Amino acid sequence: MTSILTNVAAMSALNTLRSIGNDMETTQGRVSSGMRVGEASDNAAYWSIATTMRSDNMALSAVQDALGLGAAKVDTAYAGMEAAIDVVKEMKKKVTAATEQGVDKAKVQEEIKQLQEQLVSIASGAAFNGQNWLVFDSTAADAVADKTIVSGFVRDASGTVKVNTTTYTLDELTADGQNVLFGTVDTSDYTQSAGGILGSAGDDIDPTTNTYTITDTVVTLDISAFDDAEMAEALNLTEAAIQLMTKAASQLGSISMRIDLQEDFANKLTDAIDSGIGRLVDADMNEESTRLKALQTQQQLGIQSLSIANSSAEGILQLFR
Residue 178 host element (H or E) = none
Cα dihedral: 274, 278, 279, 283 (round 10): -170
Mean pLDDT of 10-31: 80
Q: 244 or 14, which is more confident?
A: 244
Nearest to 11 by CA among 3, 171, 32: 3
186 by Cβ neighbours in 10 Å (0-12 / 13-18 / 19+) ranks as middle
Among 182, 143, 183, 151, CA closest to 167: 151
Within a 13 Å sphere around the CA of 40, how many CA atoms are in the beta-carbon half? 3
* Tens-digit pLDDT profile for residues 101-154: 888 899 999 999 999 999 999 999 999 988 999 999 988 888 899 998 887 777
Indicate the range of 35-49, 136-150, 299-313 predicted with least confidence. Answer: 299-313
The region of weakest confidence among 129-143, 180-194, 264-278, 299-313 is: 299-313
pLDDT tens for residues 181-193?
A: 999 999 899 999 9
Domains in the chain with CATH codes: 10-29+45-314 (1.20.1330.10)
Residue 317 has pLDDT above 80, yes or no: no
CA distances from 152 to 65, 67, 91, 148, 270 (A): 11, 8, 41, 12, 12
CA 298/CA 34 separation, integer angstroms: 23
Instruction: Check pLDDT > 60 for residue 88.
Output: yes
Sign of CA dihedral 189, 194, 200, 202: positive
Does residue 175 or residue 172 have the better pLDDT? 172
pLDDT at 203 over 80: no
Instruction: Residue 95: name the closest of 241, 247, 194 by CA.
Output: 241
**Per-residue model confidence (pLDDT) at position 221:** 92
| Residue 210 banded pLDDT, cuts 50, 70, 90 | low
| Residue 32: pLDDT over 80 | no
Per-residue pLDDT at 91 exceeds 90? yes
pLDDT score recorded for residue 150 = 83
pLDDT band at 176 (very low <50, low <70, confident <90, very high): confident
Instruction: Indicate if the pLDDT at residue 202 is higher than 70.
Output: no
- Please give the torsion angle defined by the CA atoms of residues 90, 134, 184 and 140, in that order, rounded to the nearest 10 degrees: -170
Q: What is the mean pLDDT of the chain?
A: 85
Q: What is the pLDDT of residue 308?
A: 77
- What pLDDT is stored for residue 296 in this prediction? 84
Q: Residue 207 above 60 pLDDT?
A: no
